[in-house]
Structure formats: structure tokens, C-alpha cells
């Protein structure tokens, strides 16, 4: 063997790389041919035995060598332990977001359209045909602003919204005997709202957040118009014109409950969707001051009509904003917003007073019957409110966790 060992036995099998021999004690041993120095089929000479013993002796002698030097520990490359500046730990936040947006929107309240359809019902009951045309709407300025403070899993929000627009109305009353009355006007209208809410992070992962939310909202609706007219015609001849000053003021308030969802679309894009259920109660004050005069100057009248309505409203608020995070602190967004609810009238009362009423006031039973008819008609007339907008805005984030 190459290590100096001499093995004796019978070769019983071999391949190109191995050899099997049967030893003198009967055991079978398999050898690798690369470990074999020479194969001989006769006894080794005395000189071969002596060289074999010396070689084995050298291999069994232990030579102490100095241990190899310990390798220096390789320095691991320093890893950047800082996360992306856009990454936010949603469960341990301490920051404030302030945002503002502006765009175009519309506001469609139950002002003149509602009272016009209600008057048409009363006229029909009294046998006076009345036609109420569909309202025409113009868009106006819309804007929103707000702030959200996050503390760990909680979020505290304050939001303000403004919607504007114009509503054009036309009502035609057919009095018979070629008499016709046309009422028309364009009403500039606006609605402002303010909401306080608190939300809680119920679920969060790298892509998705869900926050149940509870809030309290208040809405102010206002309409002022000084250009509405009522024209009386007989056989296409203009007889008299009444000019009106209209004022509508509505205040609604109540709780809301909903959910806020955030969908992260990569590192810099974020989609925020909110849906809230609204339960509101409030009151609307409507005042109309009219000055009537005939074309020939033979007639003049002045009167004031006040309408007070109390009602409840059920509806929803939907919001969807897509954010682009330009920097870790500044984001730009585009979004849509929608408020919509239906009213249920609790009560309605009208107060009417003209110049003739000062000398000849109407009987109490007529006043009572008139208010009863108005109240019953109001409760059977549907009323809705709808405000919507498309806005572009910016948001600034302040981090207090550093």
C-alpha cells in the first residue's frame, strides 16, 4: 500500500477503481486502487519488509507542530438598520397630519324645490293645477380641510367641508279663465360642515389598515336670494310682478359611525376610503319677503312668509382620496366626496302676514286648518340632500415620535 502497509490475501474481484481481497483470517476487504502502490503475486523480499516497517514507523511517530494561527474573524459588512423614511409603524404612531383641498362641487338641498312641490300638492287638493319643473343645478366652489392626530392605535380627527352651487327653479300655476302665474328664481346655496371623530386601528398589515370610527357632525345650510319673481298673466298680458327676498337657514347635527380603510400601493401611493352612516336631527328656517305691484300702479302689497320645519335625516358620507407621498412629510392627493341623506319631517308650521292682515286678520280656524294641511302635506313629500365634490389637495405630516 502507499502508506507502507503490506496486505496478504486472495484477489477475488476487481474493477477499474476497486479491488476486493480475501484476507488470511477469512475477512473480505475492499481497497481503492489509488491507495495501492504495487501488487505482487510472490512473497516480499527482506529488503521490502524492512522498508515497509520503517515507513509505518515514521507514520506512527507524532510530530508536534505549532498550531496554525487562528484566522482573524471576518468583519461582517455593516447593514443599514434604518428602515425606509416612508415606513410608518401604524400600531405605534405619534404624528399629526394636516390637509387642505379645493375643487368643484354641487349642493342640492331641499329648499325651494321642496317647498315648491309641497305647494303644488296643496294647490292640487284645492283644484288648482300646478307644474313644478325639474331643477337645474350649477356647480360651485368646494373645499375641505382637516387634521388627524395619531397616538399609537388611536386617531383623533377634525374635518371641515364646504360645498357651493346654484339651483334654478320654475313653478307654473294655472288659475283658470286664462290666468297664469309663473314663479322662477336662481338660488345661490352653500353648506358647511364640521366633524369630530375618533378611530381605532383594529387590523393592520403591510398592505391594509382598517379603523372603525365614531364621530359627531354638524351641518349649516344657507340660501340667500334677492332676484326671485312671481309674475301674474291674464291672456298673455302681464298684470303684476312680485319680487322676493328668500332666506333659508338649516342646522343639522348628530352622531356618525363608520369605517376608515387605507390601502398601500407600494412605498409612495396610498388610497384612503371612508364610509360613515349619519343620523341627524335639526331645523330649517325659511323666510320669504315679497313686494307685489301691478303694472298700471293700481295695486301694491307687501307680505312676509315664515316656514319652520323640524326633521330628522338618515344617510351616509363617502370619501375616497388617493395620496402620492412626494416626501416623507408632504403628500399630494386627489379625491371625491359625497354626502347624501333623506329627511323625515317631524313638524312644519307657516306664519303668513300681509298688509291686509293688519286690518282684516284671518280667522283662527282658517289659520289652524292651513297649518294642519301644510304639516300633513310636508310629511308626505319626500325631501333629500346631496352634496358632492372633486378636489385636489396637499397634506403635511409632523412626526412627534423622534
In the chain, what are the domains? 9-60 (no CATH), 92-399 (2.40.128.90)
Helix (H) or strand (E) holding 342: strand 330-354
Residue 343 has pLDDT above 90, yes or no: yes
Query: Mean pLDDT over all residues of the chain?
Result: 86
pLDDT tens-digit profile of 167-216? 888 999 988 778 898 999 888 999 999 999 999 999 999 899 999 999 99
The helix-helix angle for 364-379 and 112-125 (nearest 10°) equals: 120
Question: How far apart, in whole angstroms, are the C-alpha atoms of residue 151 and residue 371?
Answer: 53
Rounded to whole angstroms, what are the CA distances from 55 to 2, 7, 51, 52, 223? Answer: 10, 15, 6, 5, 116
So what's the pLDDT on residue 199?
A: 96
Residue 94 has pLDDT above 70, yes or no: yes
Q: What is the residue-wise DSSP string for 364-377? A: HHHHHHHHHHHHHH
Residue 38 has pLDDT above 70, yes or no: yes
Q: Mean pLDDT over residues 315-319, rounded?
A: 96
Beta strands at 18-23 and 9-14: parallel, antiparallel or unpaired? antiparallel
Q: Mean pLDDT over residues 39-62, rounded?
A: 71
CA nearest 211: which of 257, 261, 255, 256?
Answer: 261
Residue 259 has pLDDT above 50, yes or no: yes
Question: How far apart, in whole angstroms, are the C-alpha atoms of residue 236 and residue 388?
Answer: 41
- Asked which of 174-178, 209-213, 342-346, 394-398 is least confident by mean pLDDT, the reply is 174-178
Residue 402 has pLDDT above 70, yes or no: no
So what's the pLDDT on residue 261?
A: 96
Q: Which residues contact 320 (CB under 8 A, 6 or more apart)?
A: 271, 272, 273, 274, 335, 336, 337
pLDDT tens-digit profile of 275-305? 999 999 999 998 989 888 888 877 788 888 8
pLDDT, greater one: 269 or 354: 269
Residue 151 has pLDDT above 70, yes or no: yes
Query: pLDDT confidence of 62, banded at 50, 70, 90?
Result: very low
Residue 365 has pLDDT above 70, yes or no: no
Q: Which residue has the cell 357632525?
A: 217
Query: pLDDT confidence of 253, banded at 50, 70, 90?
Result: very high
Return the exposure string of 106-125: e unless at least 16 CB atoms fall within 10 Å of the residue's CB, then b: bbbbbbbbbbbbbbbbbbee
Q: Mean pLDDT over residues 29-53, rounded?
A: 80
Residue 356 has pLDDT above 90, yes or no: no
pLDDT, greater one: 354 or 235: 235
**Cα 52 to the center of its chain, rounded Å:** 91
pLDDT, greater one: 175 or 65: 175
Residue 91 has pLDDT above 80, yes or no: yes
Q: Which residues contact 19 (CB under 8 A, 6 or more apart)?
A: 11, 13, 30, 31, 33, 36, 39
Residue 43 has pLDDT above 80, yes or no: no
Alpha helices in 126-259 (DSSP H): none
Q: What is the pTM of this model?
A: 0.73
Amino acid at each position: 500500500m502507499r502508506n507502507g502497509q503490506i496486505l496478504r490475501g486472495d484477489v477475488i474481484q476487481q474493477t477499474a477503481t476497486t479491488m476486493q481481497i480475501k484476507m488470511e483470517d477469512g475477512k473480505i476487504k475492499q481497497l481503492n486502487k489509488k491507495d495501492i502502490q504495487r501488487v505482487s503475486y510472490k512473497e516480499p523480499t527482506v529488503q521490502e519488509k524492512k522498508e515497509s516497517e520503517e515507513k509505518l514507523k515514521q507514520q506512527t511517530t507524532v510530530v508536534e507542530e505549532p498550531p496554525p494561527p487562528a484566522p482573524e474573524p471576518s468583519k461582517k459588512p455593516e447593514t443599514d438598520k434604518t428602515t425606509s423614511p416612508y415606513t410608518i409603524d401604524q400600531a405605534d404612531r405619534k404624528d399629526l397630519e394636516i390637509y387642505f383641498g379645493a375643487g368643484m362641487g354641487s349642493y342640492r338641498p331641499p329648499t325651494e324645490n321642496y317647498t315648491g312641490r309641497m305647494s303644488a300638492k296643496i294647490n292640487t287638493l284645492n283644484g288648482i293645477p300646478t307644474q313644478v319643473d325639474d331643477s337645474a343645478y350649477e356647480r360651485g366652489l368646494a373645499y375641505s380641510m382637516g387634521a388627524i392626530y395619531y397616538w399609537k392605535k388611536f386617531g383623533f380627527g377634525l374635518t371641515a367641508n364646504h360645498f357651493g352651487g346654484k339651483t334654478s327653479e320654475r313653478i307654473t300655476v294655472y288659475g283658470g279663465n286664462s290666468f297664469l302665474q309663473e314663479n322662477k328664481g336662481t338660488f345661490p346655496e352653500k353648506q358647511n360642515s364640521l366633524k369630530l371623530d375618533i378611530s381605532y386601528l383594529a387590523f393592520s398589515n403591510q398592505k391594509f389598515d382598517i379603523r372603525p370610527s365614531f364621530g359627531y357632525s354638524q351641518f349649516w345650510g344657507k340660501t340667500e336670494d334677492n332676484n326671485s319673481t312671481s309674475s301674474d298673466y291674464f291672456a298673455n298680458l302681464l298684470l303684476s310682478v312680485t319680487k322676493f327676498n328668500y332666506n333659508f337657514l338649516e342646522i343639522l347635527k348628530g352622531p356618525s359611525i363608520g369605517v376608515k380603510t387605507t390601502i398601500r400601493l407600494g412605498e409612495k401611493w396610498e388610497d384612503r376610503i371612508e364610509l360613515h352612516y349619519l343620523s341627524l336631527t335639526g331645523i330649517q328656517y325659511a323666510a320669504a319677503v315679497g313686494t307685489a305691484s301691478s303694472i298700471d300702479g293700481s295695486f301694491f302689497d307687501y307680505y312676509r312668509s315664515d316656514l319652520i320645519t323640524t326633521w330628522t335625516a338618515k344617510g351616509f358620507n363617502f370619501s375616497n382620496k388617493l395620496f402620492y407621498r412626494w416626501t416623507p412629510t408632504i403628500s399630494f392627493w386627489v379625491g371625491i366626496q359625497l354626502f347624501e341623506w333623506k329627511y323625515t319631517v317631524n313638524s312644519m308650521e307657516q306664519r303668513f302676514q300681509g298688509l291686509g292682515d293688519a286690518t282684516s286678520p284671518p280667522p283662527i280656524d282658517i289659520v289652524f286648518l292651513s297649518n294642519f294641511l301644510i304639516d300633513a302635506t310636508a310629511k308626505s313629500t319626500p325631501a333629500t340632500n346631496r352634496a358632492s365634490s372633486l378636489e385636489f389637495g396637499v397634506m403635511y405630516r409632523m412626526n412627534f415620535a423622534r
